[in-house]
Homo-oligomer: A and B are copies of this chain.
Amino acid sequence: MELDLSQHVGQLTASLVDIESVSGAEKPLADAIEAALRGLPHLTLHRDGDALVARTGLGRPQRVILAGHIDTVPVAGNLPSHLERGLLYGCGSADMKSGVAVQLRLAASVPEPTRDVTYVFYDCEEVEAERNGMLRLSRQRPELLAGDFAVLMEPTGCAVEGGCQGTLRAEIRATGKRAHSARSWLGRNAIHAAGDILGVLRGYPARQPEVDGLTYREGLSAVGVRGGVAQNVIPDECVVTVNYRFAPDRSPAQAEAHVREVFDGWDVTVTDVAGGARPGLADPAAVAFVTAIGGVPRAKLGWTDVARFDALGVPAVNYGPGNPEAAHTVGEHVALGEITECEDRMRAWLTA
């Protein structure tokens, strides 16, 4: 599979979407991106697993980072891509292969940006934090992520989105007592007991706090449930996996304490947590970028690796084509006009 970086950014997005890259299976796409960038003389290329970092080395006084993940959620019958009335449909079209297409176009066609640029393409953003390619890079090659300002090209509908919410996953376990299902009254059915866990979730009042002038919106949802021993056994265990999305006024520790309080009395195991990031839009580098791009910044609801950059001390914002509300849906799509707009504004910023 060969990528032609000279084609229109919309066509390039379609090419990227059509190379399936569900988390953990990004290799074919990483190979294609590596092959496309390898021949560009103004970039130094590094590969780490299925992550790639391409850097200019012009000795500019500032270095900016453009970063995007190349993995997608599982395909839901929505491949290959197709174009309809100016909208490109397909798994990953919005989240975030259109942003990756903009990165690749800029990498190929802006050999002499006014700031040095680091392009980061990474794997496993859509799964648990420990597998995240950016986390791996930050541990193994932190020097590759150094910079003065970072733009995460996650879908924001071409608006600058500040900060991000944190995400926590926990397993809530209901227990019971096994018995033969022909004599169900001798056991205690753990799946029936899990009805109370679902009751808590259904009645959960989600917060909508304001943080540094931006309004966030939380959520607590079941993302998985499993239970059952055999087809004729009253099960003694049922596990509901919940995902808590928390505003950046709560730390990971506070988020965990909250979930434990909500499920007081149940067996709670936190399996995965990634803190959010406060907006940080007062930083001079962020102000300069926002001024160049235009528009009114708003809160980022989805967790993104701005939190990772935040932890590395690099100011970062989210900005990219695609409606974040279309992400992870069967009908995921992106407007070609937004991809073009994003490429144009980023190009103007990098060459001004």
Query: Which chain A residues numbered 217 to 262 have a C-beta less than 8 Å away from chain B?
Result: 217, 219-235, 238, 240-241, 243, 245
The yes or no answer to A70 lying at the interface (CB within 8 A) is no
A154 to chain B, nearest CB (A): 11
Q: Assuming A198-B198, A329-B179, is B272 touching A222 (CB within 8 A)?
A: no
The yes or no answer to A4 lying at the interface (CB within 8 A) is no
Chain B residues whose CB sits within 8 angstroms of the CB of A301 once the complex forms: 182-183
Contact B181 A165 (CB under 8 A): no
| Closest B residue by C-beta to A227 | B225
**Most chain B CB within a 10 A radius of its CB, from A127, A206, A222, A243:** A222
Contact B272 A181 (CB under 8 A): no
Contact B232 A223 (CB under 8 A): yes
A167–B179 Cα gap in the complex (Å)?
Answer: 15
Chain B residues whose CB sits within 8 angstroms of the CB of A178 once the complex forms: 76, 328-330
Q: Assuming A74-B229, A179-B328, A180-B324, is B219 touching A223 (CB within 8 A)?
A: no
Query: Which chain A residues numbered 56 to 79 have a C-beta less than 8 Å away from chain B?
Result: 73-74, 76
Q: Assuming A191-B225, A192-B202, A222-B235, is B183 touching A325 (CB within 8 A)?
A: yes
Contact B221 A189 (CB under 8 A): yes
Chain B residues whose CB sits within 8 angstroms of the CB of A167 once the complex forms: 181-182, 232
| Closest B residue by C-beta to A194 | B198
A231–B230 Cα gap in the complex (Å)?
Answer: 25
Chain B residues whose CB sits within 8 angstroms of the CB of A241 once the complex forms: 228, 231
Query: Which chain A residues numbered 292 to 329 have a C-beta less than 8 Å away from chain B?
Result: 301-303, 324-325, 327-329
A189–B224 Cα gap in the complex (Å)?
Answer: 10
Contact B325 A73 (CB under 8 A): no
Contact B183 A222 (CB under 8 A): no
**Most chain B CB within a 10 A radius of its CB, from A184, A220, A243:** A184
Chain B residues whose CB sits within 8 angstroms of the CB of A127 once the complex forms: 230-231
Minimum-distance CB pairs A-B, first 9:
A224-B228, A195-B198, A182-B302, A184-B219, A191-B222, A180-B328, A184-B221, A225-B227, A181-B243
Other than A192-B198, A222-B227, A224-B227, give 4 A-B pairs with Cβ distance below 8 A: A73-B232, A126-B232, A184-B221, A221-B234
Interchain Cβ contacts under 8 Å between A and B, 29 examples: A74-B229, A74-B230, A76-B178, A95-B180, A127-B231, A167-B181, A169-B231, A179-B328, A180-B324, A180-B327, A182-B219, A182-B303, A183-B325, A185-B217, A189-B221, A192-B201, A192-B202, A192-B221, A195-B201, A221-B234, A222-B228, A223-B229, A223-B232, A224-B227, A224-B235, A225-B225, A228-B241, A230-B328, A232-B243
Chain A residues with CB under 8 Å of chain B are 73-74, 76, 95, 126-128, 165, 167, 169, 178-186, 189, 191-192, 194-195, 198-199, 201-202, 206, 217, 219-235, 238, 240-241, 243, 245, 272, 301-303, 324-325, 327-330
